[in-house]
């Protein structure tokens, strides 16, 4: 570490324990604080423990009507204002993607140019989605073209930045997300029993976890739902599905599940702070995402010793060991392919679990602090 520690500024939407980008930014802020740096954060929400630290200064930004567009404008303006102040003191500014137009370090967790979301709804809603996406593209391109160092959360993200935005490869460093060893480790028999008791689940029934909002089409829940209906039509299929994530359209999904005869086979658990507990009671994770820059929820499942059925083009798939690669999905939107992969897992559940538990030890050897330390090393080496 340098003898004289210059201040750091992090510009990000949230610094909380839920969500890949949010958790990663929180880990970096905590590490910088632990190392004695003066840490400034411009964000909408900040973890209470972090905000209470003496060397952490929170510049909270409102999010009117809980709108990402309105909140993003205010976040960008506040970020640029504080970036000037920190830069004048010789400090380092870390922004995230297009959330702040600043010529410094840019940590990319999602590439808007790699995926255009689609929405069901009125023509006005679709038009709004299209123009919002166009705005994100402009902001992303403008910010990344100014960056002096870009951090990518996967090789998938790095290649998207090169191919879709023309970023010079030598500007980009890949830094994978770390892990929380305390909460996400293979569950002991006692931890699993306690989780099943808390969730009121039958220990004899395998549960498969889907972590993400069913309303987010990018996450692929519609494909999973169709696959689950197909699976449950076979009397041999004995697993239930646990869906962890906020679902604004819950009445529609539950009605559809009842109509398809799988109302008792899909549990909508909503948003939960105790994902580690849910995973302790599960036997597999499934994520048929159409675009995923990384996929922290899958990594956390792997750390829990759970096999994962995942789209092979997601960032997290890059780190899969050979023993788990047969579960990767070559086509995230193909229902039959997903059905086959889930049957493959169920037919070889013990072998895949053993492979996942073995792989978890490798993942757990790389903590959030180690991730943050690597980022700081890259930043300090790049500084004049």
Coil vs helix vs strand at 189: helix
Over residues 178-192, the pLDDT tens digits come to 999 999 999 999 999
| pLDDT at position 116 | 87
| pLDDT at position 249 | 82
What's the rounded Cα separation, in Å, for the pair 203 and 381? 51
Average pLDDT over residues 367-380: 97
Q: pLDDT confidence of 384, banded at 50, 70, 90?
A: low
Q: pLDDT confidence of 358, banded at 50, 70, 90?
A: very high
Residues 375 and 153 sit within 8 Å (Cβ to Cβ): no
| pLDDT at position 383 | 66
| CA-to-CA separations, 252 to 128, 258, 263, 268, in angstroms, rounded | 23, 10, 12, 12
Tell me: pLDDT of 298 over 90: yes
Tell me: pLDDT of 238 over 80: yes
Which helix (H) or strand (E) element contains residue 285? strand 284-287
The residue to which tokens 């939107």 are assigned: 333
Average pLDDT over residues 245-274: 93
Burial 275-309 (b: 16+ CB within 10 A, else e): bbbbbbbbbbbbbbbbbbbbbbbbbbbbbbbbbbb
Tell me: pLDDT of 133 over 80: yes
Over residues 93-122, the pLDDT tens digits come to 999 999 999 999 999 999 999 998 877 767
What's the rounded Cα separation, in Å, for the pair 96 and 332? 27
| pLDDT at position 2 | 43
Q: Is the whole model's pTM more than 0.85, yes or no?
A: yes
Residues 192 and 281 sit within 8 Å (Cβ to Cβ): yes
| pLDDT at position 43 | 97
Per DSSP, the residues of 113-150 read GG------S-HHHHHHHHHHHHHHHHHHHHHHHH-SEE
Over residues 27-53, the pLDDT tens digits come to 999 999 999 999 999 999 999 999 999
| pLDDT at position 132 | 86
Which helix (H) or strand (E) element contains residue 277? helix 275-280
Q: pLDDT confidence of 1, banded at 50, 70, 90?
A: very low
Residues β-bridged to residue 179: 367
Interstrand relation of 105-108 and 92-95 (parallel, antiparallel or unpaired): parallel
Q: pLDDT confidence of 222, banded at 50, 70, 90?
A: very high
Average pLDDT over residues 157-177: 97
Average pLDDT over residues 280-289: 98
Residues 371 and 175 sit within 8 Å (Cβ to Cβ): yes
What's the rounded Cα separation, in Å, for the pair 287 and 345? 14
* Percent of the chain scoring above 90 in pLDDT: 87
DSSP helix, strand, coil percent of the chain (3-state; round to 5):
50, 15, 35
Over residues 48-93, the pLDDT tens digits come to 999 999 999 999 999 998 888 889 999 999 999 999 999 999 999 9
Other Cβ atoms within 10 Å of 228 Cβ, number:
27
Average pLDDT over residues 312-317: 97
Give which of 88, 126, 71, 23 is closest to 368, Cα–Cα.
Answer: 23
Other Cβ atoms within 10 Å of 251 Cβ, number:
9
Give which of 293, 148, 152 is closest to 218, Cα–Cα.
Answer: 293
Comparing 220 with 128, the larger pLDDT belongs to: 220
């Amino acid at each position: 570490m340098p003898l004289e520690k210059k201040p750091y500024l992090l510009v990000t939407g949230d610094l909380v324990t839920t969500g890949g980008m949010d958790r990663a930014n929180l880990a970096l802020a905590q590490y910088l604080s632990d190392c004695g740096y003066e840490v400034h954060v411009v964000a909408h929400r900040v973890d209470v423990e972090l905000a209470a630290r003496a060397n952490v200064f929170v510049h909270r930004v409102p999010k009117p009507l809980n709108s990402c567009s309105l909140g993003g404008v205010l976040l960008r303006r506040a970020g640029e204002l504080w970036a000037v102040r920190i830069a004048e003191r010789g400090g380092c500014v870390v922004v995230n993607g297009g959330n702040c137009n600043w010529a410094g370090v840019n940590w990319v967790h999602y590439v808007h140019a790699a995926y255009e979301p689609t929405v069901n709804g009125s023509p006005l809603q679709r038009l709004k989605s299209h123009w919002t996406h166009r705005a994100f593209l402009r902001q992303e391109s403008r910010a990344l073209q100014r960056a002096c160092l870009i951090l990518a959360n996967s090789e998938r993200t790095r290649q998207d930045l090169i191919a879709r935005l023309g970023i010079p490869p030598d500007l980009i460093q890949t830094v994978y997300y770390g892990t929380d060893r305390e909460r996400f480790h293979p569950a002991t028999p006692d931890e699993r029993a306690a989780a099943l008791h808390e969730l009121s689940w039958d220990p004899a029934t395998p549960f498969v976890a889907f972590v993400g909002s069913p309303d987010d089409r990018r996450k692929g829940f519609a494909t999973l739902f169709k696959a689950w209906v197909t699976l449950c039509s076979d009397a041999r299929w004995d697993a239930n599905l646990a869906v962890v994530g906020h679902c604004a359209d819950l009445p529609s999904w539950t009605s559809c599940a009842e109509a398809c005869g799988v109302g008792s086979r899909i549990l909508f658990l909503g948003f939960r702070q105790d994902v580690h507990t849910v995973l302790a009671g599960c036997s597999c994770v499934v994520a048929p995402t159409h675009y995923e820059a990384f996929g922290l929820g899958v990594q956390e499942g792997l750390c829990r010793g759970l096999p994962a059925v995942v789209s092979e083009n997601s960032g997290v798939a890059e780190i899969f060991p050979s023993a788990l690669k047969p579960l990767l999905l070559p086509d995230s939107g193909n229902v039959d392919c997903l059905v086959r992969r889930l049957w493959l897992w169920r037919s070889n559940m013990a072998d895949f679990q053993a492979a996942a538990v073995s792989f978890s030890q490798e993942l757990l050897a790389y903590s959030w602090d180690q991730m943050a330390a690597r980022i700081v090393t890259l930043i300090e080496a790049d500084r004049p």
